[in-house]
Amino acid sequence: MSNACSLEANRAKKVPVRIPEEEADRLAAERGVRVRPNETLEEIDERGVFVRQPNAFITPFGEKDGDLKAEANRFKIFWAHGCHWSNRPVIVRDILGLEDAIDDLATSGIGKYGHGFTDQKDYKDPSTGAVFLSEFYENARPGFTGRATTPTLVDVIEKKAVNNDYHRLTNYIEVQFRKFQKTDIDLYPKAYRKEIDEFNDWLFPTINNAHYRMHFCLSWVAYDEAYQDFNEALEKIDQRLATNRFLFGDYITDADVRLYVTLVRWETYYYHNVGPLKKRIAEYENIWGYVKDLFAIPQFKKYTFFEFPKNEFKGHRGWNGSFLERIASQVPWEELWKTDGERAKLSSDPDVFLHTDVTPEEYQSEISVSKWNNASWDDRQPRNVSISVDPSINPLKGLLKNKKA
């Protein structure tokens, strides 16, 4: 993999090739690929609220008839640098030591056709020959008309999409692929999966998807709802992190991966398309220290991308040149994001990961179904969220323990 671990490597990385529109049209016509649907046309309700499409491929990995079965070297994660949903599974995969079992490839934009592989030879995914991510969707479901999204888990033998459920994909990797792990790290402790799932399902509309709700909505009412939800949730999380090094205590869990990737993209990029900022992430004392704490961990840093135009702004837009054009590429990101180590004092164990010696068989459980994949538009309304414990409180305080701690 060519993913950058340092700012210097990020800056030196080649910018993906942009295919001329006529060439993209030709390739799409050859392969029967449709233009990607537009969120602001297809996923807006009568109030102007952005209600994200449900994931198309949600067949779980598991032991029941019809479930997907975990195999090494059969599945590949297609992800995108700028998509925080898709940064999750590659971070989890690397933490668990599953690189040899599950392959990956970062996509690049291919204009109006969505995700492609423009930085690959002949614009093709080396393992399947596909030019467009949507080809895997068409192979799996002929006539598919929705958006092909990242992350998508593809069966490279059958060359079809099998799962794009970012709500539960990391959980399937953590549980069903356990037998292929090179580490004994536990991001999803079996005894507490209910609590982690409930928190994650609260996190989705209030944090993970809230900035998209602000960005794609088409009414002030919808914008204000998302703005309030996002900022109120951040305050609760900042309160929670005042006495917890990570969301559920001394150790990183699946939930931390989900929160981190959104905070990173918000602080460095997404905010500029959204509107007024109440507070920057760097202004939250506990959240900011938490983000820097995670950034210091190699698997998180590897998938944190500071990609901006490299001082190409020449004043051609005068006073209207944006911060991202004028300044962002000059920011000493790694220096600003360097942890001071102070948050380690909140933990009773210097190890940031929980470890388990249970067998892969003992580790199994049926993964819960997320209501955010329900077909009903009403079920997926962003404010249709509940949680049994106030998010500012860690219900597992002191319960996660390494044997040596």
Condensed to tens digits (0 to 9), the pLDDT of residues 24-43 reads 999 999 999 999 999 988 99
Prediction pTM value: 0.94
Q: Where in the chain are the domains?
A: 7-373
Q: Which of 370, 304, 381 is nearest to 163 (CA)?
A: 370
Q: How confident is the model at residue 12 (pLDDT cuts 50, 70, 90)?
A: very low
- pLDDT of res. 284: 97
- pLDDT of res. 274: 87
Asked if residues 373 and 54 have their Cβ atoms less than 8 Å apart, the reply is: yes
Condensed to tens digits (0 to 9), the pLDDT of residues 350-397 reads 999 999 999 999 999 999 999 999 999 999 999 999 999 999 999 999
CATH T-level assignment (fold) for domain 7-373: Glutaredoxin (3.40.30)
Q: Which of 51, 117, 71 is nearest to 380 (CA)?
A: 51
Question: Mean pLDDT, the chain, as a whole number?
Answer: 92
Q: In the predicted model, is pLDDT for residue 317 greater than 70?
A: no
- pLDDT of res. 218: 95
Question: What one-letter code names the amino acid at 300?
Answer: F
Q: Which two tokens stand for residue 290?
A: 């938490």
Q: How confident is the model at residue 11 (pLDDT cuts 50, 70, 90)?
A: very low
Q: How many CB atoms lie within 10 A of CB 220?
A: 10
Condensed to tens digits (0 to 9), the pLDDT of residues 103-116 reads 999 999 899 999 99
User: pLDDT > 70: what percent of the chain?
Assistant: 92
C-alpha to C-alpha distance for 326 and 156, rounded to whole angstroms: 42
Q: Quick one: how many helices (H) and strands (E) in the chain?
A: 15, 6
Q: In the predicted model, is pLDDT for residue 16 greater than 60?
A: no
What single string gives the DSSP state of each residue in 61-105? Answer: BSSSTT-B---TTSEEEEE-TT-HHHHHHHHHHHHHT-TTTSEEE
Q: How many CB atoms lie within 10 A of CB 13?
A: 15
Averaged pLDDT for residues 254-279: 92
Give yes or no for a cis peptide into 151 (omega within 30° of 0): yes
Condensed to tens digits (0 to 9), the pLDDT of residues 183-218 reads 999 999 999 999 999 999 999 999 999 999 999 999
